[in-house]
Structure 1
Amino acid sequence: MAKLLYKLGKWAVDHKKSVFGTTIGILIILAIFAGTLGPKFNEDMSIPGSESVKAMTIINKEFSSGQGSSGAQTQIIFKAPKDKTLTSTSVNTSISKALETIQKNKAVASVAAPSQLKNLTQDQKIGYAVVTFKDQAPDVSDASKDIILDNVKKIRDAGIQAELSGDIDFSKSSSGSTEAIGIIVALIILSITFLSFLVGIMPILTSVFGLGISLLLILLGSRVIDMPSVSLTLAAMLGLAVGIDYSLFILNRFRKQLSEGHSVKEAIAIANGTSGSAVVFAGLTVIIAMVGLCVVNIPFLTIMGLGAALSVFFAVLVAVIFVPAVLAMFGNKLGPDRKNRFLQWVTFSRKRKPNSNSKSNAWGRFVTKRPLLKALLGIAILVVISLPMGHMHLGLPDDSQQPKDSTTRKAYDLFSEAYGEGYHSSLAIVLETTKETAHPKQAVSELQDTLGSLKNVQMVNPAVPNKSGNHYMISVMPKTGPNDTKTNDLVKTIRDKAKSIEKENHVKIMVTGQTAVSIDLTNSLNKAIPLFASIIVGLAFILLVVVFRSILVPLKAVLGFVLSLVASLGFVIFVIQDGHLTQLFGVSATGPILNFLPIFLIGILFGLAMDYEVFLVSRIREEYVHKGNAHKAILAGIKESGGVVTAAALIMISVFVGFMLTPDVMIKSMGMAFTFGVFFDAFIVRMTIVPAVMTLMGDAAWYLPKWLDKILPNFDIEGEAIMREVKGK
């Protein structure tokens, strides 16, 4: 691989203008197509074939009114001013005028006022209207949204509280500003690291090309494949972070080769053959992790994983093809002309006496001195942070976790005030008769009596039959909210009790609703996690054995990842679920942990952890192979690669922090998990526990049975072969 990338680097130098122009051309063409067609995301995050989805399908088919109800719906909830009600003349007039104006919009199929829906509270202070559009939410235009917003403003100007909820997002805020903060911080870190703005901005600019191509392809893909919009965020989050890191590693090696007297072309080729090999292998581990989501067999997760893998794939391509071409265009302008004080600082390097060992730095000596103590201390810290894992509660975020000043959060609170928390967790029970069903009405009556006797049930509506009479639907309102554990217990209880009714009456009973969908999704994910983790960890372990020619080093890498994983999940639970440090991190309200966060964290964090493992340990192995001294190899590896790994981790953290600062709780929780996952893995595991444990292992760390060494292929990611050729010239 190293020789191939070495030749590819030289080719990119010779064809730098063509490579640069082709990349720009591809980006422009994709941008034109994506801008013309536009995205078409599908926010459905359910599991086809699950009980809740089957029940929902029956409801849509058998109980649909057929009057435009298939389009997106928006609820406008009103609260009358003090000393007035919604039936007061002035209040009713303001609301009626606004709803009439909304109805005139050609995109609107129907508008139902509170009086029509008969949903006014007993004191007539609160009620809501329903606006149904002809199209689904992604296809509703901004102009149609603005009509809603303008008329809601008029209602508010009349002194009436009016808030919006439903299928359509009316938020005008964008997370782009917070994501930009992460990029700016990354630029600052790079500029300080290399004492050059030009060198600092280079990895960011080059990574943007790969990220742009992958995101535009995802936007185009949304036109033909059902995918949630969070797929774009995940791909951007991961693609930007690894793109900067991969470009950084090649740029750093290029500068090192220039400092050793190589020509620009030779320095680029060597950097591509050595660091480029590590980049390809590191990217491969992340891609394996993301593609591994296919085994979960949940469509939206598969698409999200493939989208993230696509962004990593183009990050690797840009790093080994486009970056060499850009380096050739700037040449010696990117060369090292000043000492790297920042890398000295982050690795605690100090000026040493002339007779001291130049192959080490202060951090390396600190970690390898009393290594057992350092390893145990690092492990203890991560174990303590991971303790909240014992009471993790998974679910799907709802509007109660939105920012308190958002209209969706205010609408949620108004609905709760008017109808109770259970309004948001309403369940639909579908009873389906069969040929063997002798007394369907008896089965329905028994089911209604059973539902009414349950403790956490606030209200049970009478059963509604479909036209043919072979299906019945019963609406149940719990006393608790959608993410309350009592609501989850209620769904399980209903399903358990339904089994006896099914056997006695020969009917089929299914439960659906937001809580039921969330439970089904969570259960499927929990079942899939062991298989998913086993596949990606197993494949990566095999690849690490091949690369490092060792058994214990890959085993240590995998165990270190487990520590990082449970610690990052524990910290997220500590903040988002348990409610600690909420003001510091801008968490509006506590709630469950996003149910697909653990499985994504496993895939992404494992890939990123292996990145740092490869970049750090490959340098240690290179030194060990040449000198044969395990302790000195660790010191040399930390000195040579530790600073760049540290800077790379800080860059990745700064990118993830940008996403963590967004108001959307789903993106915030993902950003927080990745931020602290990288922090724990890079600084506690890779830079502390790994060298400490390898010091304890000594030469045994590199043990590999001779029979296994003979049959394993040699990837040579350190580029030993090309370095021998270069030195032999």
Structure 2
Amino acid sequence: MTTAQPALAQKDASAPHAPPGLLGRLGVWATTRLRVVLVLWLALVAGLGAFAPQVTSALAGAGWQANGSQSVQVRELAQRHFSGNASSALQVVVTADRQVSDPAVQKTIAKATDLLKADPRISDVLAPQQGATISRDGKTAVLLAGAAADTNDMVRAADDLKKPLAALSGDGVTLAATGASVMWSDFNTANHDSMMHSEMISWPVTMAILVLAFGSLVAAGLPLLLTIAGLAASAGALVLLNHLTPTSIWAMNFAMMFALALGIDYALFLVVRFRAALARHGSPVRAVAETMDTAGKAVALSGLTVLVSLSAVMLVPAPAFRSMALGIMLAVVFVLAATLTLLPAVLGRLGTRINAASLPLARPASDGDGSSPRFTAWGERLWRHPFRYGVPALLVLVALAAPVIGLRTAMPSITVVPEGNSSRVGYEAVQKAFGEGAPGTLQIITPSGDAARVARQIADNSGIAAVMPAADATDDSGLAMIQAVPLADPSDPALADTVHTLRNGLPDKTLVGGAAVENLDLQQTLEDKTPLVMGIVLVLGFLLLVVALQAPLVALIGTVTNLLATAGAFGAARLIFQDGHGAGLLGFTPQGFLDGWAPVFFFAMIFAIAMDYTVFLLSTAKEHYEKTGDPRTAAVAALGHSGRVILAAAAVMVAVFFTFALSDSLPPKEMGIVLGVAVLLDAALVRLILLPVLLRLTGRAAWHTPAWLRPVLPDIHFSHG
């Protein structure tokens, strides 16, 4: 097949260049005012960065709840009206080799009581009660420390108290703090440590890939400039935000990850384009203007799509989810701002020195226009043989996506907390002494007048092992609390059936809660909101592509192909984490499900990253289609100019994400594998094979703008000059 003649003649290189557009003018301004730009960014980073050291201690450790749910209402009522005996209270499990009534054991319990009472975040400390919190054999007792603070402060209390309490152990007596607050304390610590360890491992690999991708040590350092600026600013901003609303510590972890990933993506795209423009024009200022009007426009669109994708997560009424999404969005805003101002200023000043400290073996081959000969040749091959490569790629994606049909999700069990941690030790001691369902004790709050009838109904439920006597509120609220021990372990699906039956059968104004029920309510909320979040992400992503590319069909192709890689990643997650394939190799015990937050949160993250690559590829194709009117030139040039960028950026992300698969903790392992597989599939099969093939099959139709749509679209072009 011969190459079609361009419908629009390409402009002569010697012709006067067109004035730069909005982003081009911004780039020229930044280049000619480097000192001003540097001072502004130094002031911003120093001002916000001054708060950054507080980030690990200031940010919140709780927030994993469904706001407005029955269980959250029960916790709030219990804290106000029942001396802090809420799900966020601390439980200190005392196990002894003799009766807990022994004077030596009682002395240890007294020391623990004094330690707890000395903390202002603890309200009343309830001594172990025979028949309720002392085991039948008399060798295990539970000391209850009521919550006098919100859930985040109770997690901090657990951080501070669990080790001093454990230090009281000795002489045949063991103390272990447990309960929801201690579990979140242990969970956050273990996962934060695992993520930091994985990130340290990933840095050498990341730097090696950057040097290979950029070809010089100077250019390879530019993503670090964006990452440091974005991270320092977003970390400080998160600390300030935490004064307005509790912000999860996980927000910083994810912000760090996205700042690095997007800093690399954006720097790669702009540096490659800048080098090509500089080779053509010789003028750094003119090269910056062209770079910003083309690649800069794509970066701005990419950042906007990432922000839109993550903003949909804010619809989930769970503080942890909202603050994590907000943390990533802050990092994206700062990295994007640095990319559009600080990076062009530095590029303009560096000029040809961008290639300083080049490594001959690492310097990528390039044609005079900045395209990669290898990826150009690959684009030509895909154009000539679309079905030879497109069909196998599609079959692999469909095969990996098929298992997603049987994917199950649930909130994590206690097994995600490392063995030997306080909350897990106490949890297992409570189960051994009081029964399988004791760690998930239900709290039922009802009007005092209904307490006797409600207690009988609870006792008649086949899923309940024991019911404790009703306790009246400590004030005149007229409420009573009944605690019931279920038969099932808190992670057993049977507990959800028990809670559902109780809620449907108990009188009005009776609320069922407890720590385990909070997890169930959060899981239900996630299941309810996931379709809405996914739908909004897809629709807004499609509309943004329509506006940017001015063509509904190519926007639809870009959006739908994003789903294939996402579905393939979740299909692989089901095989690994639910069915346990490869569990021995990866070093974990499968729970039989994927953690409940994965679908909604990981979907938004994967879609954001996939849209990043989609925008890079399709904006480049659009640029060449605007110049030539030839779909073949557009498709081939898109791969030639952006294929290497996509591959290098994906290689860095895959390396970073897969290092999380080495984590001891299960949640980072899940995140690393799901996101790593998604990026691998998206880059290798979707962006570098399937999407170009679909551009080949749809031809000019892909770029057609219906007449009725033109008047409502803004005038956006990616070509320059």
TM-score bin, normalised by smaller chain: 0.7 to 0.9
3-state DSSP of counterpart to 1:473: strand
Query: Does structure 2 retain, via aligned residues, the 8 Å contact 1:605–1:677?
Result: yes
Cross-structure match for 2:36: 18
Cα distance change of structure 1 residues 454 and 392 upon mapping to structure 2, 3 Å threshold: farther
Task: Please state if 1:58 is matched with 2:71.
Answer: no
Counterpart code for 2:351: G
Q: CA deviation at 1:644?
A: 0.8
Tell me the number of residue pairs that the alignment of Structure 1 and Structure 2 aligns.
690
Q: Distance in 2 between matches of 1:546 and 1:105?
A: 57
| Corresponding residue of 1:558 | 559
The answer to whether structure 1 residue 402 and structure 2 residue 422 are counterparts is: no
Q: Residues 621 and 306 from structure 1, CA distance in 2 versus in 1: closer, same or farther, beyond 3 angstroms?
A: same
Counterpart CA distance in 1 for 2:357 and 2:255 is 36
Aligned residue in 2 for 1:480:
488
Q: Name the residue aligned to 1:122.
A: 136
Aligned AA (2:196): G
Structure 1 residues 286-339: Cα deviation after superposition (integer angstroms, max 9, x where no partner): 111222334445555444333322221111101010112232444322228869
2:688 is matched with 687
Answer whether contact 1:34 1:220 (CA < 8 A) is retained. no
SS of match in other structure, 2:169: helix
2:606 maps to what in 1?
A: 605
Kindly provide the amino acid, as one letter, of the partner of residue 463 in structure 1.
Answer: A
Provide Cα deviations, 1:496-554, integer angstroms capped at 9, x if missing partner. Answer: 333xxx4xxxx433221234323333333333333333333223212212322322211
Task: Answer yes or no: is the 8 Å Cα contact 1:210–1:314 preserved in 2.
Answer: yes
Structure 1 position 245, deviation (Å): 1.3
- The 1:127–1:464 alpha-carbon spacing in structure 2 relative to 1, beyond 3 Å, is closer
1:119-268 to structure 2, matched below 5 A, reads 119-131=133-145, 138=152, 148-150=162-164, 152-153=166-167, 155=169, 158=171, 160-166=173-179, 167-168=181-182, 169=185, 171=189, 174=193, 175-268=195-288
Contact 2:216 2:362 in 1 (8 A): no
CA distance in 2, matches of 1:446, 1:219: 49
| Aligned ranges 1:660-699 → 2 under 5 Å | 660-699=661-700
Contact 1:39 1:223 in 2 (8 A): no
Q: CA deviation at 1:221?
A: 0.7
The Cα offsets for residues 435-467 of structure 1, whole Å up to 9 and x where unpaired, read as xxxxx45xx555434333333222222333446
> Do 2:577 and 2:594's aligned partners in 1 also have CA atoms closer than 8 Å?
yes
Q: Which residue of 2 aligns with 1:77?
A: 93
Contact 1:382 1:564 in 2 (8 A): yes
* Alignment CA distance shift 1:586-1:205 (3 Å): farther
CA contact 1:246–1:279 (8 Å) conserved in 2: yes
Determine if contact 2:214/2:364 at 8 Å carries over to the other structure: no
- Decide which of 449, 455, 460 is 2:462's aligned counterpart: 455
What percentage of aligned pairs have identical amino acids? 27
1:557: how far off? 1.3
Rounded to whole Å, the distance in 2 between the matches of 1:509 and 1:89 is 41
CA distance in 1, matches of 2:529, 2:132: 45
Instruction: Quote the Cα distance in structure 2 between the aligned partners of 1:387 and 1:454.
Output: 39
Inter-CA distance 113–13: structure 2 relative to 1 (3 Å threshold): same
**Residue matched to 1:436:** none
Is 1:290 matched up with 2:279?
Answer: no
Give secondary structure in 1 for the equivalent of 2:233: helix
Cα distance change on mapping 1:475 and 1:522 into 2, 3 Å: same
1:591-630, CA deviations, whole angstroms, 9 ceiling, x for partnerless residues?
A: 6433333222232222221111111122223333333442
What corresponds to 1:437 in structure 2?
none
Distance 2:54 2:596 in 1: 35
2:294 is the counterpart of 1:274: yes
Listed as ranges, the gaps of 5+ residues in structure 2 are: 1-18
Does the 8 A contact of 2:133 with 2:141 survive in 1?
yes
Counterpart check, 1:315 vs 2:319: no
2:498 aligns with 490
In the other structure, the counterpart of 1:594 is: 595
The aligned counterpart of 1:617 is 618
Deviation at 1:44, TM superposition (A): 2.7
Whichever residue aligns with residue 395 of structure 1, its letter is A
Match of 1:31 in 2: 49
Are 1:45 and 2:64 matched, yes or no? Answer: yes
In structure 2, the CA distance between the partners of 1:535 and 1:103, relative to structure 1 (3 Å rule), is closer
Task: Give SS of 1:706's match.
Answer: coil
CA distance, structure 2, for counterparts of residue 317 and residue 477 of structure 1: 54
CA contact (8 A) 1:291 1:305 kept: yes
Q: Which amino acid aligns with 2:23?
A: L
**Change in CA separation of 1:19 and 1:393 when aligned onto 2, cut-off 3 Å:** same
Which deviates further from its counterpart, 657-666 or 192-201?
657-666
| Amino acid paired to 2:547 | V
Counterpart for residue 375 of structure 1: 390
SS at match of 1:75: strand
1:431 Cα deviation from its structure 2 partner? 2.6
Letter matched to residue 395 of structure 2: A
Tell me the distance in 2 between the aligned counterparts of 1:226 and 1:108. Answer: 20
- Once the two structures are overlaid, the 10-residue window that deviates more, 111-120 or 53-62, is 111-120
Q: Work out whether residues 268 and 327 of structure 1, in 8 Å CA contact, stay in contact via their aligned partners in 2.
A: yes
Gap change, CA 1:338 and 1:42, over 3 Å in 2: closer
Distance 2:130 2:32 in 1: 73
RMSD, aligned CA:
3.6
Q: Which amino acid aligns with 1:451?
A: I
Report the CA distance between 1:647 and its aligned residue.
0.7
Q: Which residue of 2 aligns with 1:471?
A: 479
Higher mean Cα deviation, 699-708 or 123-132? 123-132
Contact persistence 1:110–1:132 (CA under 8 A)? yes
Q: 1:387 to 1:177 in 2, by over 3 A?
A: same
Q: Which amino acid aligns with 2:67?
A: P
Task: Please list every run of 5 or more consecutive structure 1 residues that lacks an aligned counterpart in the other structure.
Answer: 352-356, 434-439, 725-729
Report the Cα offset of residue 648 of structure 1: 0.9
Q: 1:473 to 1:237 in 2, by over 3 A?
A: same
For the residues of structure 1 that align with 2:321 and 2:274, how far apart are their CA atoms? 38
